[in-house]
Structure 1
């Protein structure tokens, strides 16, 4: 199995179909308009709904949940999907909160998805930090995921999670060969904390991808919420001056339409 299908549903939410598995990242299916609190005086309004309704999804085998405590990564409708998924893979603290079918992974630990007639997929948690140094007590625990299976030609499929660029993320380039990078961008910030960012900017993504050298870069988490401060147009403006070997590897997925990705 060398190819996967990825459907970007909106925000951080994507359906990954690989080796007979359907994996859903960060389920967000609420309609637009609602304001969500993120704690410590921060909040944001959802400005766009999902490209696919939750009812239109095929059965989901596993949810890859980078964190459970922010509504732009797990909203009310997304949370309602979790019991029907075979497995929810998330942070250790998230698994304790969710219970049930949730598995918690500490950074660089691995769990396995296996079933008769399907490709076995190893899911490894990768470091993520949802803000500046020392912000974890405020922003909470977050994780990325690296997906590995036999037959990948270009390297693992890596999901960054909501993170800024820091040494933990740089270590992904040192420890893994990344073929496809699903990057959470958006340059998140809030009026209360001024210029402080809580997810990667385009500039950080370019710097990181120069280290990772992935074959394909798939941006997500850049539109659909008021606190996402770098939309596609802003990212593309920055990419215009980026090195060709990075710029040409960005692939914008059409919302709601499955795209085949060579892995």
Structure 2
């Protein structure tokens, strides 16, 4: 059993992660402030989120609406909340108005539901379009062949602002194997911006997780989603 408190574990891990982020930024000629850490908090309860925020991590990422809501009720006024999991249309009412960003916009019906709910609340929701670059059948997201058509179809939705793209790379032992995935997402950012969509100026790339965040940073990630390497308690490892 680890004798460190959760706060001590967290600060130690954050120091280690920060050193790796800094090195990746240096290798790729980027500034550290260009990269934001999203703490993936599905591994912890609401009390732990207070510790995470106190450690200076401002971005909280949740995957499941039913798990997220009790945590949001405790700490929703602190930090910035990102919904990063697959979002069912019937759960949109619980997410829009609470979460600052949605990272998993992956189909027209979901865009309609988000736009309708946001209109009711007089909001514009910043969204990331989820792209299944690797075309893995077990993962959600639009294929690259569908991207332009999707953006055309949603271009009249005034309450959605597509600020970024998100992807999940295959789980591999060697980070270098997924570098092409992240590079392609960055290239798609550039292709989309050339079309000057009114609702989609792509500034952000949400890519890179605990096993591959360094190569994601080297390829242009602006948000990395870290769970097991950062906020998961050691005794649960």
Q: TM-score, normalised by structure 1?
A: 0.37
Q: Considering fraction of residues, name the structure with more strand.
A: 1
Q: Considering fraction of residues, name the structure with more helix.
A: 2
Q: State which structure, 1 or 2, has the greater radius of gyration over its C-alpha atoms.
A: 2
Q: TM-score, normalised by structure 2?
A: 0.40
Bigger relative contact order (CA 8 A; separation at least 6): 2
